Amino acid sequence: MFSLDDKIAIVTGASRGIGRDISLGLARAGATVTLVSRTEAALQTVKSEIEQAGGNALVCPCDIADAEGVKAVAKQVTDTYGGLHILVNNAGMTRDNLIMRMSTDDWEAPIRTNLTGAFNFIKAVTRPMMKQRWGRIINITSVVGVTGNAGQANYAASKAGLIGLTKSTAKELASRGITVNAIGPGYVATDMTADLPEEVTTKLVESIPLGRLGEPEDITPAVVFLASDEASYITGQTLLVDGGMVM
């Protein structure tokens, strides 16, 4: 089901957490996966895991906030493989603070990575995808981009921005066979949420109808589906994968 054989994919934030699992999942479905983050050694480990499972991967270290670096990654992928079919904009960061205490740098950092980074990659892959008249762009937003969250005005704005970016590019690129969708995870157990105090986690779990935090493995199947041929009539949507937290 949902074969991605012969598809060339890029996953940002592939070094750990949700992006690592998405990379493994796309490779299991048959895609060749370009692994992007700033930490080359961690990407090499994920590449080895993919290869041990019989898949193919390319390591491209890059800070996604650097537009020139992103362009170079897209060029390396198309030069190496002659095409580029799937982009998963997953890399993300938080810089939490209450608005009264939030510095301009705190405000800008998540916007630069989470939103401008995604814009940089979408811009870099659009031409090769248009040439193929086939493409899948999947932006990892967050439930917080829909609901807002005290202490995360910067992060929530970046994730709400991703939803607007998703809808606008979906409209621009639909006639070229390119779909653009967003996935909004709820709370997923990764480095990003590792520092939450236990009482906060307990409260969160109580607010999740399915009664547990998510795991990276809960997000990956939605990505594989939206990347597949079978999802060709779905675009501009935000799919919340959150155990029913927001409905």
Ligand X SMILES: NC(=O)c1ccc[n+]([C@@H]2O[C@H](COP(=O)([O-])OP(=O)(O)OC[C@H]3O[C@@H](n4cnc5c(N)ncnc54)[C@H](OP(=O)(O)O)[C@@H]3O)[C@@H](O)[C@H]2O)c1
Residue 28, exposed/middle/buried by CB under 10 A (0-12, 13-18, 19+)?
middle
Least CB distance from residue 187 to ligand X, whole Å?
Answer: 5
- Least Å distance, CB 132 to ligand X, is 25
Cβ closer to ligand X: 177 or 221?
Answer: 221
Computed from CA positions of residues 152, 201, 185, 26, in that sequence, does the dihedral angle turn out positive or negative? positive
Rounded Cα distance, 204 and 199, in Å? 9
For ligand X, the closer of residues 67 and 130 by Cβ is: 67
- Would you put residue 140 in left (φ > 0), alpha (ψ -120 to 50) or beta? beta
CB 106 → ligand X: shortest distance, Å? 15
Place of tokens 């709370």: 187
Q: Per the residue annotation, which of 81, 155, 187, 233 is the catalytic one? A: 155
Identify whether the C-beta of residue 225 lies closer than 8 Å to the C-beta of residue 2.
Answer: yes
* CA pair distance 1, 225, nearest whole angstrom: 9
* Residue 12 or 235 having the CB closest to ligand X: 12
Residues near ligand X (CB under 6 A): 12-13, 15-19, 37-39, 42, 63-65, 90-93, 113, 140, 142, 185, 187-188, 190-193
Q: In what order do the strands lie in the sheet with 32-36?
A: 56-59, 32-36, 8-12, 86-89, 135-140, 178-185, 238-241
Catalytic status, residue 155: yes
In angstroms, what is the minimal distance from the CB of 240 to ligand X? 10
Tell me whether residue 64 or residue 129 sits nearer to ligand X (CB atom). Answer: 64
- Which residues are part of the catalytic machinery? 155
